[in-house]
Amino acid sequence: MLPPPRLHQPLRRVVVTGLGCASPLGGTAAESWRRAQRGESAAAQFDIDGASFVAARCGDLALDEKREKARVVALALRAAAEAVRDAGGLEAHAPARRGASIASGVGGLGDIVDAAHRVAEGKKLSPFFVPRALCNTAAGAVSLEHACAGPVQTSAAACAAGAQSVGDAFRLVQRGDCDVALCGGAEACVDEVALRGFARMGALSRDGAARPFDAARSGFVLGEGAAVLVLEDAASAARRGARAYAELRGYGLGGDAVHMSAPPPDGAGVLRAARAALGDARLDADLVDHVNAHAAGTPAGDAAELAALEALLEGRRGDDALVASTKGATGHLLGAAGALEACFAVLALRDCLAPATAHLAAPLPTSERVTLVAEATRRDLRVALSTSSGFGGTNAALVFSRADVSGDLGVEARVSVL
């Protein structure tokens, strides 16, 4: 039996060694990123029981869906399998040193609706109903599939859940609770109940397109999918010769405390989360080259987040920060959104390319400190910030740096794991 982790040990560096995606843009991280770069929209019109809706669905990914396996679980397992392969496997780490942190905002909502219909009709429920419906069923399935016998957890913090799951896994590896963690989010609720619910709130786009940061934005497009990152102790990754995409440097949270679904106009909660993440990373806002913003295309949310980013970057010296939102392409994946966008932030650093913001034709006015990216833009990106916000006033932020430039960011020199 392995001894428990040492208490009060120095914080460890944490790197990203694997990525996996099953998104409306494609069945792999590479395909999803390729289409996100170009701002290709996955939104499409479809019918449910005679009613017409627009949403971003994953399409035919040949998912392994069975009676005991909900769609959200199948999506999570597909993304996790790709991430593990991409990382070169988990065999270098004992099961007790592997963790899993997989988020879901609503879990098996479709299963709950179906069960309610069956009860109303006097029919028996499936014995698999409860495990299919739970929010943590994806995390449990991933931990079983990949023998993660260390910490296993789930964030259900609405649309900030995916980012929180990555941040929570970061803490687990950083503090020595495990040496490697599969983290991310999964969501599969493109159904009539969810669509009608968000429509009743006035949250969905009125013209069938998500237009982040655009003057004509009117709401988001609902999406589904999963994204998983492999986070690993940098020293362990170096010993096994693993490639690191990036280093996860900081994680921060901030609350709005003003309304269940509407942010404050100044984006104070997002600003607190971003400042907390940069403080955790011991980096100044001047070093942020790229932001993958939460911006889903809602009138109040996008304006509030932009105000927060302007405040964060106030007094910035040097080049402007390139701000993009990939939700115009992917739709809003709710509890999986922050995880998918964390993957895109990492890939933006790898490729030194800020992706396009789909449907951005009339950008909101900004200062010279911020550039809203309508088309993919190449630049020497070293630090990326990814922001996420959710109902209940919850906000999360993640700070990544390119793995080969850590020593150039004003902190102590570090050995590259590339």
Helix (H) or strand (E) holding 311, with range, is: helix 299-312
d(CA 37, CA 31): 10
Q: What is the DSSP letter of 216?
A: T
CB 232 within 8 A of CB 180: yes
d(CA 233, CA 308): 32
* Residue 183 to residues 51, 54, 161, 170, 408, Cα–Cα distance (Å): 36, 29, 11, 9, 28
Would you call 332 a catalytic residue per the annotation? Answer: yes
Other Cβ atoms less than 10 A from the Cβ of 313: the count is: 22
Catalytic residue among 93, 146, 332, 359: 332
Q: Residues with Cβ < 8 Å from 358, sequence gap 6 or more?
A: 39, 40, 41, 209, 210, 212, 326, 328, 329
b/e 29-58 (16+ beta carbons within 10 angstroms → b): beebbebbbebebbbeeeeeeeeebbbbbb
Catalytic residue among 93, 294, 343, 359: 294
Catalytic residue among 159, 183, 189, 343: 159
d(CA 306, CA 214): 11
Sign of CA dihedral 54, 259, 171, 93: negative
- Nearest Cα to 385, choosing from 226, 225, 249, 232? 249
Tell me which residues are annotated as active site.
159, 294, 332
